[in-house]
Homo-oligomer: A and B are copies of this chain.
C-alpha cells in the first residue's frame, strides 16, 4: 500500500495519485471508463483512505448556462483554492466521447490554468453504467487532494440525476421559462437540489421562474433545518456568482454543524453505490438481459415461457452468483 521510494518504477498507482501525479490520474480514469477490472485494488485502497474533499454537484437542463456558471464558480474558487478538480459529464456532447479533446475543451477560461483539472466523461465510454464510473472517478479525484471538487452533469435523465447522489452539495440550475420548471420536475431535479439557481436572470420570466421554483421546493417539503435558497445569477457577466459561492459555503458549514444530516446523506450515497456495485457484479456475471448470448437472457426466456418462475430464478441466481465466471468485463 505504501511504498518507501518515490521512483515511478516501484511506486503504486495509489501512492502516485496521492502525491498528485497527473499521468497516473488520467490513466486510472481511462481504465475505469473502459471497464478494466485490474484497476480495482487501487480504487479500493484509495476509497478506504479517502473522504477528504466534499463534492459539489452542478446540474440543469441543456441551455441553462450550466457550463458557463461552472466556469464562474471555478474562477471564484481559484482565488482561495490551490487546485480545483472538475468532472464534466455530458452524454450528448460530441467532445465527451473522446478523452483527448474532451479533457480540456469545455471551460475556455481555465484552459491554460495549471490549478484547474478538468476531466470529461461520456456515458458511451463507460461499460458498467455512468453512475458507477463517475463514482469511481470521484474516488480518484478525492485522492488527488484537490481543494475543491465539482461534478457537472446535464440534468435530463435518471442516470444523470443519480450521479448527483455522490455530491454533498447539489446545485440545480434553471433557465427562465415556465416550461423548463416542468422539465426539472419531470427529471426529478426538484427533489435533489440543496441550492437552486435561476440563471440568465436578466431575461424575461426570471421572476416567474424563481417563484415557480420556490413553490416546487415548498411542495417538496423537508425535515432538514437547511433553508433551500434560490439564487439569481447571470453567468455571462458573473452577477450573483458571489452569492452562489456564499451559499455553497453555507451549505458545507451546515453539513459540518449537523453531522446527523451529513451521515444520513453519506449513508444514502453508500447504499446507492453498494447497490450499483451489486448490479454491476451481477451484470458482469449474468450478462446484459438484452444480450442473447448471456445467461440472463435465457433465464428471462424461461420465465416468459413459464418453464420456471421468478422466485425460483432469483434463488438460483443468488445461489450461483458467487461461483459464476464473469461473461463481460467491468470494474467490480
Q: Which residues of B contact A301 (CB under 8 A)?
A: 267
Q: Is the CB of B318 within 8 A of A278?
A: yes
Which stretch in A9-17, A108-116, A149-157, A309-317 binds the other chain?
A309-317
Judge whether A332 and B309 touch: CB under 8 Å: no
B314 touches A278 (CB 8 A): yes
Query: How close is A85's CB to chain B, nearest CB, in angstroms?
Result: 19
A247–B11 Cα gap in the complex (Å)? 69
Of B47, B270, B300, the contact of A274 (CB 8 Å cutoff): B300
Residues 260-278 of chain A: 1 if any B CB is under 8 Å from the residue's CB, otherwise 0? 0001001100110110111
Q: Could you tell me which residues of chain A, from 196 to 237, have a CB within 8 Å of some CB in chain B?
A: none
**With A182-B182, A185-B186, A310-B270 as contacts: A315 and B332 at CB distance below 8 Å:** yes
A311 and B315 CA atoms in complex are apart in Å by 22
Task: Kindly supply a per-residue 1/0 record for chain A positions 24-51, scoring 1 wherever the CB is within 8 Å of any chain B CB and 0 otherwise.
Answer: 0000000000000000100110011111
**Chain B CB within 8 A of A322 CB:** yes
Contact residues, A132-170 vs B (CB, 8 A): 135
Instruction: Give Cα distance in the complex from A273 to B310, angstroms.
Output: 6
Contact of A312 among B44, B289, B311, B322 (CB under 8 A): B44
Query: What does the 1/0 interface line of A283-326 toward B look like (CB < 8 Å)?
Result: 00000010000000001110110111111111101110110000
**Quick check: is A71 within 8 A (CB to CB) of the other chain?**
no
Which residues of B have CB within 8 Å of A277?
310-311, 313-314
CB distance from A149 to the nearest CB of B (A): 17
- Given A299-B274, A300-B270, A319-B322, are A280 and B314 neighbors across the interface (CB < 8 Å)? yes
9 nearest CB pairs, A to B: A277-B314, A47-B309, A270-B303, A273-B310, A319-B322, A278-B314, A44-B309, A266-B304, A277-B310
Question: Residues of A at under 8 Å CB distance from B?
Answer: 40, 43-44, 47-51, 135, 182, 185-186, 263, 266-267, 270-271, 273-274, 276-278, 280-282, 289, 299-301, 303-304, 306-315, 317-319, 321-322, 331-332
13 A–B contacts, CB within 8 A, in A order: A44-B311, A47-B306, A47-B310, A48-B307, A49-B306, A135-B310, A267-B301, A273-B310, A274-B303, A274-B313, A277-B314, A281-B314, A318-B322
